[in-house]
Each structure stands twice: as C-alpha cells, then as structure tokens.
Chains A and B, each alone.
Chain A
Amino acid sequence: GAVVSQHPSWVICKSGTSVKIECRSLDFQATTMFWYRQFPKQSLMLMATSNEGSKATYEQGVEKDKFLINHASLTLSTLTVTSAHPEDSSFYICSASGQNTNYGYTFGSGTRLTVV
C-alpha cells in the first residue's frame, strides 16, 4: 500500500509559461501533501504543506503567487509553477501522508523541470 503517483516525470517549457505538476495518492487518502524542491546533491527543501480543502502553508522565502498549490481532494494535489524562469529549473517532488500513520510519508516519483 501507500503509492503516490506524480506526473509528469519530466517537462521542458519556455520562459514565461506555466507548468502544472500533479501528485495523486492511489490507495490511501492523503490528508496532507508536502511539496519539495531538490537541487543536485542536496537535501529536500520543503516548499509548502497543504491539507485537503485548505490553503497551503508556504515556507519562508517561497513565493505563493509563483508556486500555486491546490489540494482539492483527498487524492490529488497540484503544484503550478507560474511564469517559469530558468532559475525555476529543478527537481520537484511531492510527499503524501494520511491519518493512518502506518503509512508514514510516501514520495511521488518527482518531476524534472527544465525552463529554457
């Protein structure tokens, strides 16, 4: 159990365009989703935490108007990178947890975003 699907796995977009990344929990209800950004050879940097039906809580320094997070259902959360720029190029990864604490935190497969 505890499978999280993330799409797309990689995307290349032009500067100024927006990109949407989806994260789905396939076999459990994800009451909380976490969105991370990871730079090469570095740890996971938490961007925001979202609880189903509530507004996301963003970490300090993360622009909420640039990284739009929606968690409208217990199985789906989306991260939209708006007006993307080359410095937004990174590996974005979601993690989901449910009220059943037997699952812990389960990661999606990640999305490699390249902005050209």
Chain B
Amino acid sequence: GENVEQHPSTLSVQEGDSAVIKCTYSDSASNYFPWYKQELGKRPQLIIDIRSNVGEKKDQRIAVTLNKTAKHFSLHITETQPEDSAVYFCAASQSAGGSYIPTFGRGTSLIVHP
C-alpha cells in the first residue's frame, strides 16, 4: 500500500517568512496530491492540489511542487501570516476522488509568530 512521509512535524517561522513542508510517497500509481489545512477542532480544508501531469501549481501565496521521479511533493507558503498557523496534511491518492483511498501524512504544525 501507499506510504506517505511528511516533514517537519513542527515548523515555527516569523511573520513574513516562507514555510516549506515536504512529503514523500511510495506508490508510483499515485497521481493526485492534495494539501489540507486544519485549524484546531475544525475540519481539514483543501487549500491546493496537484495532479501528476503538472510539476507546479500556484495560488496566491501558496504553491505546490511535484517531482514524480523522486516521488516527493512540497507545499510552499510565502509571506506567512499568523492566520496561516494550523496543522497541514499532505495526501496521495491514485485518483482525485471516487473509491480510491487517500493516504495522509502525519501532519505539520505550522506556527507563525507575529
């Protein structure tokens, strides 16, 4: 089965700095990689996703890169703000939905200090 490793487990940055979270996966059949942001006691919210036919995707201050050869993908947050503080999860799946089971990373607790 798929195995997703996520690092770091905790990331502390100053407001305005960039934050990078990295994930690796094991199943070469995976081709959908979503990132979720979860605030305390709330549901994970999809913030960005990428499919295997794309190497990079950007949405304002958030970007995701994918290296299929190396089987790793990363989340980049620029100009961090205190409201970016949350737990971020990466995931890998063979498809963007349907009955394919996504495998989640263990999460990264991002703390942005004002």
Contact = CB atoms under 8 A, between A and B. Distances in A.
Nearest to B45: A107
Contacts of B34: 104-105
B60 interface: no
Interface centre among B43, B91, B96, B97 (most CB of A within 10 A): B97
Given A41-B109, A43-B104, A104-B34, A31 B99 contact: yes
B96 A104 contact: yes
Contact of B42 (A46, A106, A110): A110
Contact of A110 (B36, B41, B87, B91): B41
Interface in B29-48: 32, 34, 36, 41-46
A41 B87 CA distance: 9
A51 interface: yes
The number of chain A residues touching the other chain, given as a range, is: 20 to 34
Interface of B: 32, 34, 36, 41-46, 49, 87, 89, 91, 93, 95-102, 104-107, 109
A114 to B, nearest CB: 13
A101 B99 contact: no
A107 B49 CA distance: 15
A112 B41 contact: yes
A102 B96 CA distance: 7
Contacts of B49: 104
Given A31-B99, A103-B96, 10 more contacts: A34-B101, A41-B109, A43-B106, A46-B101, A101-B97, A103-B97, A104-B97, A105-B46, A105-B91, A110-B43
A101 B95 CA distance: 7
B46 A104 contact: yes
7 contacts: A34-B101, A44-B104, A102-B96, A107-B44, A109-B42, A109-B43, A110-B43
Nearest to B103: A46
Contacts of A108: 43
A59 to B, nearest CB: 9
Given A107-B44, A112-B41, A32 B99 contact: yes
B97 A107 contact: no
